[in-house]
Amino acid sequence: MSALASVERDLRAAVAAEVIAPSAAYLTDQTEARGLGGRADAVALPHNTEEVAEVVSWCYAHGVPIVPRGGGTGYAGGAVPLDGGVVISLERLDRVRSFDPLLWRIEVDAGVRTAELRRVAREGGLLFPPDPGAAEQSQIGGNVATNAGGPHAFKYGVTGAWVTGLEVVVPPGEVVQLGGALRKDVAGYDLKHLLVGSEGTLGVITAAWLRLTPAPEAAWPVIGFFDGVRGGVGAIERVVGSGLTAAALEYIDSETMRYAGASFPGEVPGGAFAVLAEADGSTDEAARIRADLLDVFGEDALALYAPESPQEIAALWRWRDGLALVVDAQRGGKASEDIAVPLDRLGEAIEASLEVGRSFGIPACSWGHAGDGNLHTTFLLAGDDDRELELAPKLSEALFELALRLGGTISGEHGVGFVKRNWLAKQLGPRAFELHVAVKRAFDPQNLLNPGKKA
């Protein structure tokens, strides 16, 4: 019997969790579009924390790599098992453990899906603000492990800002609780926030205590269309400079609009660069911010679109959430990154990132979370052309180089995963990188948790 089959057989015999043979669904994430895939020896499907701990213990005792997996919507290859080992999929840890609407807090298993959590919160009159796309598929554990953002991170912050506690299985298989249903806790080093954004390299997150906030009474989006990158970025800077507390501030460049314009739920001037902002709060406050946004955009917008009915508003956000899919469909493959730069370098970064595509002869477009200086520049690759797919790492590296040159970061929200692992040392510098590696060693001395990722 092969070593591969024996990991599956021996693990199945040793643990309570269901253990299955790896199928394609557990070997890829969104990086499949750039040709990345992996192989695993087995997939474990635990139902609870104890079963996760048992699998981690077995793997640690047998020197077998562990790859935690949420919804598989990541863009950095973090959930892809690179070279064997056991994928621990958290999909069956899907309970809401407790919900206290009057105390604005909720405790959930790691496998609860983002959209489900947001639905439960909304039914209690509350909001869980982090809203990365693919919310019907991504899981809270994955969001915490990548410290995911999304459009509303501009006003409300990224996932980590809403985490007050975590339950985590750490090597060699012990359950620890970091924080809890607490709004404040400054005892000890902030281990909880070390786990936030750790991408499955320090522990397997099994549950999270989350803060919630009262849902805004009203949320009204406004879109301005501008003449080119400079016109659009000028409007973005004016919104920030006027002290307007927009809940979201997004950009969609003219090339992305060329692909997605046909499905936009309103009129789109040809060749325009779009800026989408949202006004939220009490009805009065949202109305005031909306009016101010229309004034600020109106100074030099080619056109404005400001839907008011819930149906039109939902259609606009559905369109925004679908941008990635529309772009994916153009050529069948893509390399998409999430560099972030200081806000005053945003225009330069968008233009230079599109120039990278031109220099390689590959079509490129860009959209992203403008207020956070976070770009999703995307290179459209022919999915059936190996020569183009092989360009993906070079195109991405040109973006990482650009981000660092502009004082930015290689990742604003997707994480480092496999795709960016050689770039972290460049961003952090030697001593900070040494400390980074020392943290990893302290948690995972045998380097079995998601090896080859993050560092």
Ligand X SMILES: Cc1cc2nc3c(=O)[nH]c(=O)nc-3n(C[C@H](O)[C@H](O)[C@H](O)COP(=O)(O)OP(=O)(O)OC[C@H]3O[C@@H](n4cnc5c(N)ncnc54)[C@H](O)[C@@H]3O)c2cc1C
Q: Which residues bind ligand X (CB under 6 A)?
A: 29-30, 67-75, 78-79, 90, 110, 132-134, 138-139, 141-143, 145-146, 148-150, 199-200, 204-205, 324, 413-414, 417, 450, 453
Residue linked to tokens 């290179």:
379
The smaller minimum CB distance to ligand X, of residues 144 and 239, is found at: 144
Residue, CB closest to ligand X: 142
Q: Which is nearer to ligand X, 90 or 121 (CB)?
A: 90
In the bound complex, what is the minimum distance in angstroms from residue 435's beta carbon to ligand X?
21
In the complex, the smallest distance separating the C-beta of residue 269 from ligand X, rounded to whole angstroms, is 26
For residues 80 and 356, which CB has a smaller minimum distance to ligand X in the complex? 80
Contact (CB, 8 A) for 248 and 318: no
- 387: amino acid identity, one letter: R
In the block, residue with structure tokens 């080119």: 228
- In the complex with ligand X, which residue's Cβ is closer, 141 or 232? 141
Nearer residue to ligand X within complex by CB, 134 or 403: 134
Task: Give just the sign of the alpha carbon dihedral 264, 269, 275, 279.
Answer: negative
Residue 401, Cα to own-chain centre: how many angstroms? 21
Peptide bond into 216 cis (omega under 30): no
- Quote the strand ranges of 157-226, DSSP E: 163-170, 174-179, 204-211, 213-214, 218-226
DSSP 409-439: BS-SSS--TTTTGGGHHHHH-HHHHHHHHHH
C-alpha separations of 36 from 29, 44, 139 in Å: 8, 22, 21
Shortest distance in whole angstroms from residue 206 CB to ligand X = 7
| Cβ proximity to ligand X, 203 vs 231, nearer residue | 203
CB nearer to ligand X: pick between 254 and 378: 378
Separation in Å, CA 58 to CA 14, 55, 122, 376: 8, 5, 40, 39
Q: Which is nearer to ligand X, 68 or 261 (CB)?
A: 68
* C-alpha span between 387 and 226 (Å, rounded): 36
Surface-to-core class of residue 284, CB atoms within 10 Å of its CB (0-12 exposed, 13-18 middle, 19+ buried): exposed
DSSP run (H or E) holding 376: strand 374-382
Please state, in angstroms and rounded to a whole number, the distance separating the CA atoms of residues 233 and 300: 12
Q: How far is CA 303 from the centre of its chain?
A: 31
Closest to ligand X by CB, 206 vs 353, is: 206
Neighbouring-strand partners of residue 210: 106, 163
Q: How far is the CB of 387 from ligand X (least distance, A)?
A: 25
Alpha-carbon distance of 95 to 109, in angstroms, equals: 5
State in angstroms the smallest separation of the CB of 134 from ligand X: 4
Scanning 161-227, the segments in alpha helix (DSSP H) are 191-195
CB-nearer residue toward ligand X: 301 or 346: 346
Closest approach, Cβ 252 to ligand X, in A, equals: 13
Q: Closest approach of Cβ 424 to ligand X, in Å?
A: 14
Strands 66-69 and 86-89: parallel
